[in-house]
Each structure stands twice: as C-alpha cells, then as structure tokens.
Amino acid sequence: MNLVIDVGNTSVKLAVFQGSSVIFKEILELDLFFDKIQKIHTKYPLLKNAILSSVSHMRDQDVKLVTSLFNTLLLDHTKKMPFANLYSTPQTLGVDRMALIAAAVDQFPKKDVLVIDAGTCITYDFKNQKEEYLGGAIAPGLRLRYASLNNYTSKLPLLELAAPEKHIGNSTNEAIHAGVVNGVLYEIDGAIDEYCNIYPQLTVILTGGHAHFLSKRLKNSIFATSNFLLEGLNHILAYNNSQ
C-alpha cells in the first residue's frame, strides 16, 4: 500500500494505492495538507510507503510530517527511473514530467508515446520504443492565456474558461474564448501531427485538469485519463523499492 502525494502549482493531489489500484483520492488546498495526512495515517494503518512530488513550495512542517509517518521517497532527478533520461539538463526537469513518462513506460511499454498534460502549463513529453525520454515542450495553459490577455492589455477582461460558441467570435468575449480555446486545440493537434510524421505508430495520452474539456474537441485520436501522473508516481515508488 502506497501513499502518493503530488503538490502542484494550485493544489495537492493525494492518492492511496493498493498495488496499481487507487482506493482513495482527494484534491485539496495546501493549507489543509497537514491535517489530511494525519487522518490518512490513522485510516490506513497498513500504509508504510510514500512518494512526495512537488513543483511548488511546501512548508517544512508538512515535509517533516510525511517523512516521520512513512518511508518516504522525495522525488528529484537523482532518483532511479524506469527509463533512460536523455534530457540535456536533467536537474531542471520537472518531477511531474518524470512521473508522466514513468506511467507511459509502465502502461505502454516499448511504444512511442507522447504525453500531454493540460494544467497550469501544457507540457508535451515523449518517450520512444527504447524507453528513452527525449524531452518535449512547455507552453502556457488555458487559464494562463486568459490571464495574460487581461494582465498585458489595458481593456481586455479576465474571463473564465468557456467553449466558444462560434469559430468566429463576434464580440470581445467570444473573440477571447475563440482565440484561447481554439488556439490551444490547434496547438495540440498540430503537435500531434508533427510527432506522427516521425513516429507513425504514436500513442497519445492527454491528462491534467483540462483533459476532459479538451479531449472532446481534438481531431486526433487520444487516450484521456485523469490519474496518469499519480499512477506514474506510484510506479516510480514501486520501482525504487524493488531495486
């Protein structure tokens, strides 16, 4: 039984795995983390191992609590991975991107896989049939694009995410929705097309907070999944514990 902790830019995801199955999952604000970890420890007395992945700042007391209650793997680029990391600057590679590739290796072995994570940022990460991680791309996510239009102009409003009603926006609000949402869709479909030109048997995974919103609107065939990053972290923990 493993505890997986994914600290993102805006929230914390917690999951308890029994083998490869998720038996508990919750998304919460970082301020609630300390109390929730104590409750999980009480609820699952057989829970011994944990992995902590963070792309944001965590309070020292939160880290100390996890490491005091569980045998904890603090994920960084020095830990053993189930793939060959060919990134030229591995020390700068986000732990979330490592986890996504670990999940791709575990669930799609010996295949060319592009993992697209649509969250605060949209990341593109690729591993080949040799289980080599080659890299990818980082782009602003949907909410960042809405925010940038508001922050860097004097008159454009800050809008909440919404599907554009028309391809051609005939009001400022509709034009923003059309530009942001369609721009992301064109970008993702274009990236997939370019990868497919080189890797014809490409498998594409779409995950992250906006995966469901985007998956219905993309023209390319994809696998949409919400737990891919958590599953990757669980696989990294199991891989390190088996070495």
DSSP class per residue in 190-235 = HHHHHHHHH-TT-EEEEESTTHHHHHTT-SS--EE-SSHHHHHHHH
Report the distance separating Cα 125 and Cα 134, nearest Å: 8
115 annotated as ligand-binding: no
Residue 31 assigned as binding residue? no
> Is 87 labelled a binding residue?
yes
Q: Is 146 marked as binding a ligand?
A: no
Q: What's the rounded Cα separation, in Å, for the pair 192 and 114?
A: 8
76 is in an annotated binding site: no
Confirm whether residue 12 is marked as ligand binding: yes
Helix segments in the chain, DSSP class H: 33-43, 60-69, 95-107, 142-151, 172-177, 183-198, 211-215, 228-241
> Any idea how long the chain is?
243
Catalytic residues: 96
Q: Does residue 120 have a known ligand-binding role?
A: yes
66 marked as binding residue: no
Which residues make up each annotated binding site for substrate? 87, 94-97, 172
Binding-site members for K(+) are: 117
Binding residues for ATP: 6-13, 120
Q: State the binding site.
A: 6-13, 87, 94-97, 117, 120, 172
